[in-house]
Amino acid sequence: MATFTKLASGSWQAKVRKAGVSRSCTCKTKAQAQAWAAEVEAQIASGKVAGLSNKTFGDLLQRYANEVSPTKRSDRFEQYRIESFCEDEIAQVQLASLGPEHFAAWRDRRLKSVSGSTVMREWRILSHACTVAAREWRWLPENPLLRVSKPKEAPPRQRRVHPEEIDRLLLALGYLEGVPPQTGRARVGAALLFAIETAMRAGEICAMCWQHVDLARGLVHIPVTKNGHPRDVPLSSRARALLEVLGVVRNPDDERVFQLKVGVLDAEFRKARDRAMVQDLHFHDTRREALTRLAQKVDVMTLAKISGHRDLRILQNVYYAPDMAHVVARLD
């Protein structure tokens, strides 16, 4: 049975209690509240919504973390994020009362401390959790986030890596090109140069094994990528030379070419960046630098094959940043 209450703000609150299911929603008009209640009652009657007793959104997130997250390559990242979600007040909201207003409030709280891009990364996790709960578990009548306005993401980074900055970083990392690296810090220097030559991601570089390197053909095979599609990356003469030097210090007990974990690479790079007094540079900026350089040598379709982009719009809008002064020189 549905009940409707006019609130002091002038909006209307609808409550539905039927077959052990309880739902509530706040709408601008009574007509909207009545339409929402009729829809929920129809879903309950058709068996699309199961009784949830006192389950909370935190319970939903825990089930998602246990059953869905382990199937993803981003499992560790999701688990960490879900733990932080469960510490937020939204986790205490009962599913019977969960609505768009709770996610709008969560969005506004997060935007006070993190960027819109960070909120959107977290948003995708929450949205998928709600979609699974609605479609497969029947814990929700629908995904409430579909009715909430998304925050604006920050514009793509335009940062490139300048040659003088590379020299300072290599000095801070203790890496001399052509000399076999003897320390983890020096191997980060080799990884930095290799990233600029190949446009490979930090995770791909750290996971690269010798069995996937074919120096004779000048290729590196990446069996597992971010988008799930394997690819072959062509190697420039400089990239091949880097691998040949690394082969001198090849570890028989570790088939990884660079013998680095992503966390170690990131930490050592940040320390070196600060020592070298290089401002606002991320290791991932090497990917933009590499793709912009490669764009001067190959066509866009080949560039997409090298980078692994399946959407050319992302390649163009996010990673490809040509220097128009150089383009002018190519026109004559």
DSSP for residue 157:
P
Residues 41 and 189 in one domain: no
- Least confident stretch, 18-27, 189-198, 226-235: 18-27
Residues 212 and 137 in one domain: no
Question: Number of folded domains in the chain?
Answer: 3
What pLDDT does residue 330 have? 64
Residues 261 and 213 in one domain: yes
What pLDDT does residue 163 have? 93
Q: Rounded mean pLDDT of 45-52?
A: 58
What pLDDT does residue 52 have? 57
Q: pLDDT band for position 49 (50/70/90)?
A: low
Residues 180 and 281 in one domain: yes
Greater confidence, 97 or 237? 237
Residues 108 and 146 in one domain: yes
**Has 309 been annotated as catalytic?**
yes
Residues 35 and 63 in one domain: no
**Has 48 been annotated as catalytic?**
no
What pLDDT does residue 143 have? 94
Is-contact 135 128, C-beta < 8 A? no
Residues 45 and 96 in one domain: no
**Has 226 been annotated as catalytic?**
yes
Is-contact 206 199, C-beta < 8 A? no
**Has 201 been annotated as catalytic?**
yes
Q: Rounded mean pLDDT of 148-174?
A: 89
Residues 45 and 60 in one domain: no
With a pLDDT cut of 90, the percent of the chain lying above it is 51
What pLDDT does residue 318 have? 56
Residue at which a domain ends, from 122, 137, 154: 154
Supply the CATH number for residue 191's domain.
1.10.443.10
Residues 255 and 321 in one domain: yes
Residues 60 and 133 in one domain: yes
Catalytic, out of 226, 250, 275, 326: 226
Give per-residue pLDDT as tens, 284-305: 999 989 988 888 888 778 888 8
For residue 235, is pLDDT > 90?
yes
Catalytic, out of 81, 201, 273, 288: 201
Residues 8 and 62 in one domain: no
Helix axes 184-198, 237-248, angle to 10 degrees: 160
Tokens of 213: 């390197």
Give per-residue pLDDT as tens, 82-91: 999 999 999 9
Is-contact 102 148, C-beta < 8 A? no
> Domain containing 187: what range?
163-331
